[in-house]
Amino acid sequence: MKLILGIETSCDETGIALYHLERGLLAHALHSQVALHDEYGGVVPELASRDHIRRVLPLIHEVMTQGGCALRDVDAIAYTQGPGLSGALLVGAGVGSALAYALNVPAIPVHHLEGHLLSPLLSDPAPEFPFVALLVSGGHTQLMRVDGVGRYTLLGETLDDAAGEAFDKSAKLLGLGYPGGAALSALAQKGQPGRFKLPRPMLHSGDLEFSFSGLKTAVLTLVRQHAFNGAIDAQTRADIAHETQAAIVDVLAAKALAAIKQTGLKQLVVAGGVGANRQLRAQLDRAATNRGFRVFYPALEFCTDNGAMIAFAGALRLKQDEAKIADAANHRFDVKPRWDLQTLTAGD
Ligand code: KG4
Ligand code: ZN
C-alpha cells in the first residue's frame, strides 16, 4: 500500500492531497471558505458543511489530475475524523468511507491535531523523534512531547482561549476581518513598539499553561480609550496591533523555551495556523540560535488547515499498522467533534 488520498473537512477549508509513501507529496488542493463566512464574522457550521459537499469531489478530481493518478491507483483513504464541526467532519468522513468502500481499500480516520503535529515532517530538513511541539491553531494551544507517531504527552495547554482565538478576537475589535490573525500581524508591522503595554498572561506562572481570555478584554479597553465617535486613527490601530501580537508571541515563545528546558530535548516543532506568524518565527529562531536547539516549521501553506497533513498522517499510520488498518476495513464511520489528542496511542 503506497498511495494515500487525504481529505480534510473539519472546519472552513476543504483540503485534498495525494501522498505516496516513496515519492512523497504528489499533489494537493485547497478551497478556503473564508469569503463565505466573512460577512458573519465567524464560521457558520451549516454553510461550512454545504460548501464542503460542493467542493470535495471536484477537488479530489483536481488532485488526481495534478498527481497523474486515477482513483483505482489509490491504496487507502485518510480523512479527518475530528475534532471539528460535526456536519463538516461528516462530509469528509462520508465521502472518504464511501470511496474507500467502492475502491475496496481501507479508510483511515485521522485526528486533525495529529495532522498539524506531524506536518513539519513533510519539510526538508525534517525533525526527528523525540521533539517538543507547540501546537497553535484557532481552537488549540498546546505544548506536547512527541516521542513517535501516536506517542504524545501533553506538557501544558491553554486554560481558556487559544492563541489563534486571541489573534482573531483582537483583530475583530480592531475592525479587521475574520479570521484576523494574518491581518493583525500585517497591521502590526506598521505599529510602533512601546507605545502601549498589554499584559503577558501567565508568563511567570512557572508551568507550561497558557491563558489568553484576559488579553482581549485588555485590548477592548485600549480600543475604547482611543476611539473617538467609534473610530480609531490608523496609527493607533497599528500600535495596538503591534502590542497585541507582541503579548501573544512573548508568552508563546517563553513557554516553548521553558518546555525545551524542562524536557531537555533539542528540537522544537511549531504547528497550526499561528505557526505562520512571522514575529513568532523570528523570536523562536533567535532563541534557538542563542540556546542551541533547532526549530522546525511546516511550509507556510501547510500551517493552516490542509489535506496534505491528513494524507501524510494517514500514511504514517499505515506504515506503522498496515495489517491492522487493512483488517479493520469495514467502512463504517463516525466522527468525533471533540477528541483529546492524548487519548491516541501508537496503535490507534
Ligand atoms: O490551524 P488553523 O488553520 O485552524 C484550526 O485548526 O484552528 O489555524 C487558524 C488560526 C486562526 O486563528 C488564524 O487567525 C491564525 O491561525 N493565523 C495566524 C496567522 N495566520 C493564521 N495568526 C497569527 N499570525 C498569522 N500570520
Ligand atoms: Zn487546524
C-alpha cell of residue 187: 497591521
Determine the residue of 37, 85, 89, 167 to mutate for testing ligand 1's pocket, defined as the one with the most ligand atoms within 8 A of the Cβ atom: 167
Q: What pLDDT shows up at residue 329?
A: 65
Q: Answer whether residue 21 shows pLDDT above 80.
A: yes
Of the listed ligands, the closest to the CA of 245 is: 1
Q: Distance, CA 114 to ligand 2 centroid (Å)?
A: 10
Ligand nearest to the CA of residue 137, numbered in listed order: 1
Give the global pTM: 0.92
8-state DSSP, 175: T
How far apart CA 320 and CA 314 sit, in angstroms, is 10
Number of helical (H) and strand (E) elements in the chain, helices listed first: 10, 10
Distance from the CA of 136 to the center of ligand 1, in angstroms?
8
> In this structure, what C-alpha cell is assigned to residue 202?
501567565
Give yes or no for a contact between 110 and 307, defined as CB atoms under 8 angstroms apart.
no
In this predicted structure, the answer to whether residue 53 has a pLDDT above a threshold of 70 is: yes
Ligand having the closest approach to the CA of 162: 1
Q: Give 227-260 pLDDT, tens digit per residue.
A: 988 789 999 999 999 999 999 999 999 999 999 9
- State pLDDT tens for residues 311-340: 999 999 999 888 788 776 668 889 999 999
Looking at the chain, the whole-number percentage of residues with pLDDT higher than 70 is 99
Residues near ligand 1 (Cβ within 6 A): 11, 137-139, 164, 167-168, 179-182, 185, 272-274, 276-277, 304-305
Q: Could you tell me the distance, in angstroms and rounded to a whole number, from the CA of residue 71 to the centre of ligand 1?
A: 32
Q: How far is the CA of 230 from the centre of ligand 2 (A)?
A: 34
| Angstrom distance (rounded) from CA 221 to CA 272 | 29
